[in-house]
Amino acid sequence: MNLGPYQLDLSSPCIMAVLNATPDSFSDGGQLYGSSGCLDLSRVLKHVEAFLAEGADIIDVGGESTRPGSAIVAVDEELDRVVSIVEAIAARFDVPVSVDTSTPEVIQASASAGASMINDVRALQRDGALEAAVSTDLPVCLVHMAGEPKIMQQSPRYQDVVAEVSDFLLARAHACEDAGIDRCKIVLDPGFGFGKTLEHNLTLFRAISDLSALGFPLLVGVSRKSMIGEILNKPVNQRLVGSVALAMLAAQQGAAILRVHDVAATVDMLKIMNAVEERKDG
Ligand code: 9MG
DSSP string for residues in 37-78 = SSB-HHHHHHHHHHHHHHT-SEEEEESS--STTPPPPPHHHH
Least confident window among 84-88, 154-158, 202-206, 254-258: 154-158
4 occurs within a structural domain:
no
∠230-157-208 over CA atoms, to 5°? 65
1 occurs within a structural domain:
no
133 occurs within a structural domain:
yes
CATH of the domain at 141: 3.20.20.20
The proportion of the chain whose per-residue pLDDT surpasses 90, expressed as a percent, equals 79
Number of domains in the chain: 1
C-alpha 138/C-alpha 120 separation (Å) is: 12
66 occurs within a structural domain:
yes
Sign of CA dihedral 239, 241, 244, 245: negative
Sign of CA dihedral 144, 120, 75, 99: positive
Predicted confidence (pLDDT) per residue in 17-53, tens digit: 999 988 766 666 677 877 777 888 898 999 999 999 9
| Average confidence (pLDDT) over 74-79 | 92
Nearest to 201 by CA among 193, 211, 209, 189: 193
Question: So what's the pLDDT on residue 209?
Answer: 98
C-alpha 221/C-alpha 188 separation (Å) is: 11
Question: So what's the pLDDT on residue 4?
Answer: 82
Q: What is the dihedral of CA 123, 222, 107, 90, to 10 degrees?
A: -150
Answer for the pair 153, 195: CB distance below 8 angstroms, yes or no. Answer: yes
On average, the pLDDT of the chain sits at 93
Predicted confidence (pLDDT) per residue in 94-128, tens digit: 999 999 999 999 999 999 999 999 999 999 999 99
Give yes or no for residue 282 having a pLDDT over 60: no
Question: So what's the pLDDT on residue 104?
Answer: 97
Question: So what's the pLDDT on residue 230?
Answer: 97
Residues touching ligand 1 (Cβ under 6 Å) are: 62, 66, 100, 119, 121, 141, 143, 189, 191-192, 219, 221, 259
3 occurs within a structural domain:
no
Give yes or no for residue 67 having a pLDDT over 90: no
Active-site residue flag, 157: no
| Average confidence (pLDDT) over 247-263 | 98
Residue 117 CA neighbour count, 13 Å, CB half: 31
Question: So what's the pLDDT on residue 36?
Answer: 73
| Average confidence (pLDDT) over 161-176 | 98
Question: So what's the pLDDT on residue 231?
Answer: 98
No. of helices (H) and no. of strands (E), the chain: 10, 10
| Residue type (1 letter), 260 | V
- Beta bridge partners, 120, equal 142
43 occurs within a structural domain:
yes
**Helix 198-206, helix 161-179: angle, nearest 10:** 70
Range of the domain at 138: 11-281
The catalytic position among 81, 122, 196, 225 is 225
C-alpha 98/C-alpha 95 separation (Å) is: 10
C-alpha 72/C-alpha 66 separation (Å) is: 9
161 occurs within a structural domain:
yes
Pocket perturbation via mutation, ligand 1, pick of 64, 66, 99, 225 by most ligand atoms within 8 A of CB? 66
199 occurs within a structural domain:
yes
**Helix 129-136, helix 161-179: angle, nearest 10:** 60
Atom 5 in ligand 1: which residue has the minimum CA distance? 221
Nearest to 230 by CA among 195, 201, 259: 201
Ligand 1: atom nearest CA of 192 is 7
Question: So what's the pLDDT on residue 26?
Answer: 64
The proportion of the chain whose per-residue pLDDT surpasses 70, expressed as a percent, equals 96
DSSP helix/strand/coil, 220: strand
Pocket perturbation via mutation, ligand 1, pick of 22, 119, 200, 227 by most ligand atoms within 8 A of CB? 119
